[in-house]
Chains A and B, each alone.
Chain A
Amino acid sequence: MSITKADLLRWLEQSAQVLHDNRDYLTQLDSAIGDADHGVNMDRGFQAVKAKLAGLADADIGTILKTVGTTLVSTVGGASGPLYGTAFLRAGIATTGKSELQTGDFVAMLEAAVEGVKARGKAQTGEKTMIDALSPALAAARQAQQAQLDLPHVLQRCSAAAEEGMKSTIPMLATKGRASYLGERSINHQDPGATSSWLLLKTLSGLYAAS
């Protein structure tokens, strides 16, 4: 089983819906420890992505992902623009020319995306950012791949790890981003970026029925 081009496009379309549906929730999280624009930003960015999907039907996966990246950079004015933009751009570079992704391709793509986010935001795990969802998600995907699980199970483990990582941000002290200005007041709040990262991975995993 693989992630086909059609699957990818469907993931992006569904993600746009999920982010739209969770707009207020993400905004609420971002109001507690940020500038209250994460929900609006992700919704705006992915509505712009959704509008481009029809025109990408004939493109390879690399091009699709790079287009998502550049679209997010130009439509999202918050930190998520450069961060998710870089994630998708690097993911696109790693998947240039591909029309489907096997498990190994998916892991390589996620690895490139996470490295991109780390390089762009200069954060590591434990700083209450999207990395706290993405890094464990990548580790889980790698482990599942090594255990030779099928793609649906790899994605399920990946998404579950992202969820755990997202929840682990609650007690963390923010040392990056707007939340870092709150100091100790950032503790006991779930990070919005980790939350949107989990939503994206959960949506991808949800495309495949893993028993």
Chain B
Amino acid sequence: MSVSLVIVSHSTQLADGVVELAGQMTRGAVSIIAAGGSADGSLGTSMEKVLAALQQVSGPDGTLVLLDLGSAVMATEMAIEALSPDEQQRTLISSAPLVEGAVVAAVEAAAGSTLQEVAEAAASAHQMPKVRT
């Protein structure tokens, strides 16, 4: 059992791609699923898709949600509001950049860290240098 991740994006392809990339770091040890795109698969977000994803990965160790842009937060918040109080307590939304945050969170979750620790690790992901000058 470990912290699970839900990847929310306006793009189904982007969400699936991030799941693929983050999953590569954990080789199935962590539940990471995508909730990307509108209900009909076009660009956008769907509160129902996010809710279904949250319910699918729901577990005692909690869930961290990573997302791309602002309105994804609103759809995700509405989904979380639909969960039971207990599940709400175990669900956090990350402000981390989507890709880097997901990869860092996956590694941390695979190491058995708590939800708080996974969230903190993801939050610092933006500091990881990319291009060295």
Query: Which A residues are within 8 Å of any B CB, using their own CB?
Result: 35, 37, 41, 73-79, 81-83, 85-86, 120-121, 176-178
Contact = CB atoms under 8 A, between A and B. Distances in A.
Interface residues of B, number: 19
B67 interface: no
B46 A74 contact: yes
25 contacts: A35-B43, A37-B43, A37-B44, A73-B47, A73-B48, A74-B46, A74-B47, A77-B10, A77-B37, A77-B40, A77-B43, A77-B44, A78-B71, A79-B74, A81-B44, A82-B47, A82-B75, A82-B77, A85-B47, A120-B77, A120-B78, A121-B74, A177-B70, A178-B69, A178-B71
Contacts of A37: 43-44
Given A74-B39, A77-B43, A82 B70 contact: no
Interface string B36-54: 0111101111111000000
Contact of A81 (B69, B70, B75): B75
Contacts of B75: 81-82
Contact of B70 (A75, A77, A79, A85): A79
Contacts of B78: 73, 82, 85-86, 120
Given A120-B74, A177-B70, A177-B71, A81 B43 contact: no
Given A81-B75, A82-B75, A82-B78, A76 B70 contact: no
Contacts of A121: 74
Given A35-B43, A37-B43, A178-B69, A74 B74 contact: no
Contacts, number: 54
B48 A74 contact: yes
Listed residue (A37, A73, A77, A78) with the most chain B CB atoms within 10 angstroms of its CB: A77
A37 B71 CA distance: 13
B25 to A, nearest CB: 29
A120 B77 CA distance: 8
Contacts of A85: 47, 78
Listed residue (A37, A75, A79, A85) with the most chain B CB atoms within 10 angstroms of its CB: A79
B44 A178 contact: no
A82 B74 contact: yes
Nearest to A181: B69
Given A75-B39, A77-B43, A178-B71, 16 more contacts: A73-B47, A73-B78, A74-B39, A77-B37, A77-B44, A77-B46, A79-B71, A79-B74, A82-B71, A82-B74, A82-B75, A83-B74, A86-B78, A120-B77, A121-B74, A178-B70
A44 B73 CA distance: 22
Contacts of B47: 73-74, 81-82, 85
B68 to A, nearest CB: 11
A156 to B, nearest CB: 32
B128 to A, nearest CB: 23
Nearest to A35: B43
A85 B38 CA distance: 15
